[in-house]
Amino acid sequence: MSIDTDEPVAPSVSDYEVGQDNVQKFGLDVHNPVFAISSALVVLFVLIALALPGQSEDFFGWLRPALTAQFDWLFLIAADIFVLFCLLMIVTPYGNLRLGGRDARPDYGYVGWFSMLFAAGMGIGLMFYGVSEPMTHFDSSLAANAGTAESWAPLAGAAGDELGARRLAMAATIFHWGLHPWAIYAVVGLALAFFSYNWGLPLTIRSAFYPILRERVWGWPGHLVDCLAVFATLFGLATSLGLGAEQAITGLNFLFGIPDTMLSRVILICIITSIALGSVVAGLDSGVKRLSELNMGLAFLLLAFVFLVGPTLVLLRGFAGNTVAYLQDVIPLSNPFGRDDFNFRTGWTTFYWAWWMSWSPFVGMFIARVSRGRTVREFVTCVLIVPTVVSIIWMTVFGGTALTETLAGYTGITDADLPLKLFEMLSQLPLTAITSFIGIVLVIVFFVTSSDSGSLVIDTITAGGKVDAPVPQRVFWACFEGLVAIALLLGGGLASLQAAAIATGFPFALILLGLCWSLFIGLRRERKAPFLETTQATHRG
C-alpha cells in the first residue's frame, strides 16, 4: 500500500510487522541483514586496527584534516538547519501534537527523564572539556594573544580587555554545548518517537523515512540507513569512551600515582566495560535509570562544591554575562563561510558537530524510548532548552573557576594536557583528594551509562526495532564498543577518536537532513487526521 501525498495514511500493520525479517537462532533475535553486515564490519575494523596500529594511526591522522578542510561548511549548515527546525516545532501548531496519541501520558517524571537524557547525551564530554575547552579558547584557539583587542575583536566584536577575552572564550565553549548539539538530538528523538508512538512503526532509524521511501524503507534503502546508524552510534560512543578512559586514568595518576600508559587505559576500558555489562543485563529501568540518577546527584554535588568554595561572586556574574555573550555571538560563530584564522571552525566546531551527529542515533533513540506522552512542544523545548541551561551553568562554574585561577597567577592549568586540566583546577580548591576522586567516579559512571545506553540502542536497531531483544545481543554490542575504543586509542589516540567521529558523522549529516523533511511530512499529515485513529477506522470499515 502506498502513501498518497495528500492523505495521512501509511501501510497496514501487516506490512511492517516488527521482526518480520528477524532470524531467531542460538538465543539471538537479529534483523537480517543489518545485524550481519554491521557486526561483520565492526569485527573486521577491530581486527585490522589492532593488527596494524601504525597504519591505522597514519590513516586517521590523514582522515580528520581531509574531512574538516573540505566539508566544514556542510556540518555547520546542517547544524544551523536543525536549530531552526526545532524552533519551528516550538512556535507552530505542530507543537500541540502528543507523542503516543491524544490520551498518552508520560512514563517518567521530569527528574528521571532529565537525568536519563542528560547522562546519555553529554556526560563524559562535559567532564573532559568543562575546564579544558574554555582554557584552550582563552589561550590559543580563538586568539594569538588572549585578552587583546587585536586577537578577539575580529570574530565577535568583544571588548579588547581581559573580561572581553574571558567572555568570548566562554561563549565559544557554550556554543559547542548549547542549542546546536541538542537540536541534533531533538530532531532524531522526535522523529523516532513520533513514527513509533503515533504511527506504530518499529523504533528504528529507517522508520523515520517512511513518508519519503514508502515500502522501500523495509528493503535495502532502509537496511543502509540502519547500518549507517549503527556505525555512527558505535564510533561516536567509542570517541566518548576513549576520552573518558584518558581522563579517568589521568585522574588516577594524579591522585594515586597509577601509571598513565596506554596499557593502563586499555585495562581501564576492559574493567569499565565489564561493569557496564551488569547494567546492560539489568535493563533500562533497573540499570540505566538508577545509574543516571546517581551520576546526576554526584555531578550536582561537585558542581555545588566548586561554586560555593570557588569564586562565587565571579561565577554569579559570569552566568548572566556568559549567557548574553553566547546569544550575541551564536550567529557569527555559526557562520559556515566566515574567516577561520584561529582554526576554530575546522579544528573545533566541525569535530563537535560530527561527533554530535554520530551520537544522534544513540541519544535520539534513547530519549525517544523514555519520552512517550510528551507533546511535541514539550519534548523539543525540554530537550533543547533545559540541557543548554545546564551546560551554561556547568561551563561557567568549571571553566570560569579555571580562568579565575589562571588570571590570579596559577599556570598549572594552562601547562597541563587536556585530560589533566580538570584535576589541576580542583587542586587549587579545598578537599582536592575528595573532589578529584568524585570527578573520577563521575567519568567512570558516565562511561558506564553511555556504554549500556548505547548497547540498548544499537541492539534495538539491529533487531529491527524490538526493544526487548535477547540479552546476549546487548552483551555483544557492549563488548565491541569497548573494543572499538581500544582499537582507536592504539591506532592514534585522541586524534583517531576524533577522526572516527567525523568520518561517521559526515554521511549521517545527509541522513539527518532528509530525516527533517520526512518528519515534517509526517507531522503535517498527523495534524489532518491522527494516523492510528484513521488506520483503525479504515480497518473497521
Half-sphere exposure of 230 (CA within 13 A, CB side): 28
Instruction: Find out if CATH 1.10.260 is the number for domain 42-536.
Output: no
Q: Is residue 344 classed exposed, middle or buried when 0-12, 13-18 and 19+ CB atoms within 10 A define those classes?
A: buried
* DSSP secondary structure code for residue 336 in this structure: T
Q: Which of the residue ranges 161-170, 175-184, 264-273 would you say has the lowest mean pLDDT?
A: 161-170
Q: Residue 317, Cα to own-chain centre: how many angstroms?
A: 29
pLDDT band at 32 (very low <50, low <70, confident <90, very high): low
**pLDDT at residue 311 greater than cutoff 50:** yes
**pLDDT at residue 175 greater than cutoff 90:** yes
Q: Is the pLDDT higher at 446 or at 194?
A: 194
Q: What is the pLDDT of residue 14?
A: 40
List, for residues 92-117, the tens digit of each pLDDT value.
Answer: 999 999 998 888 888 877 777 776 66
List, for residues 355-367, the tens digit of each pLDDT value.
Answer: 889 888 888 887 8
| Helix, strand, or coil (residue 136) | helix
Taking residues 424-431, report their average pLDDT.
94
| Helix, strand, or coil (residue 539) | helix
**pLDDT at residue 451 greater than cutoff 80:** no
User: Mean pLDDT, the chain, as a whole number?
Assistant: 80
Which residue, 58, 35, 50, 116, is CA-closest to 482? Answer: 50
Q: What is the pLDDT of residue 117?
A: 65
DSSP β-bridge partners for residue 25: 28
Q: Is the pLDDT higher at 342 or at 114?
A: 114
Q: What is the pLDDT of residue 142?
A: 54
Going 54 to 509 to 30 to 220, the CA torsion angle's sign is negative
Which cell is 258 given? Answer: 597509577
- Among 20-24, 445-449, 490-494, 515-519, top mean pLDDT goes to 515-519
CA–CA separation, 392 and 167 (whole Å):
12
Bridge-based pairing of strands 28-31 and 22-25 is antiparallel
Which residue, 36, 26, 78, is CA-closest to 464? Answer: 36
Which cell is 385 given? Answer: 532548552
Residues in Cβ contact with 2 at an 8 Å cutoff, skipping those fewer than 6 apart: 214, 215
Which cell is 41 given? Answer: 564490519
Q: Are 177 and 122 spatial neighbours (Cβ–Cβ below 8 Å)?
A: yes
CA–CA separation, 225 and 437 (whole Å):
41
**pLDDT at residue 252 greater than cutoff 80:** yes
Taking residues 74-92, report their average pLDDT.
94
Taking residues 389-407, report their average pLDDT.
92
Q: What is the pLDDT of residue 54?
A: 79
pLDDT band at 514 (very low <50, low <70, confident <90, very high): very high
Taking residues 28-49, report their average pLDDT.
80
Q: Is the pLDDT higher at 524 or at 540?
A: 524
Q: Are 117 and 193 spatial neighbours (Cβ–Cβ below 8 Å)?
A: no
**pLDDT at residue 346 greater than cutoff 70:** yes
**pLDDT at residue 265 greater than cutoff 80:** yes
Q: What is the pLDDT of residue 502?
A: 82
Q: Tell me the backbone φ, ψ of residue 10, rounded to 5 degrees.
A: -150, 175
pLDDT band at 184 (very low <50, low <70, confident <90, very high): very high
Taking residues 146-171, report their average pLDDT.
55
Name the region of 28 (left: φ>0; alpha: ψ -120 to 50; beta: rest).
beta
Measured CA to CA in angstroms, residue 540 lies from 360, 533, 536 at distances of 38, 11, 6
Q: What is the pLDDT of residue 69?
A: 78
Q: Which of the residue ranges 114-118, 251-255, 374-378, 485-489 would you say has the lowest mean pLDDT?
A: 114-118
List, for residues 126-145, the tens digit of each pLDDT value.
Answer: 888 889 999 888 876 454 44
Domain boundaries of the chain, sorted by first residue:
42-536
CA–CA separation, 137 and 24 (whole Å):
52
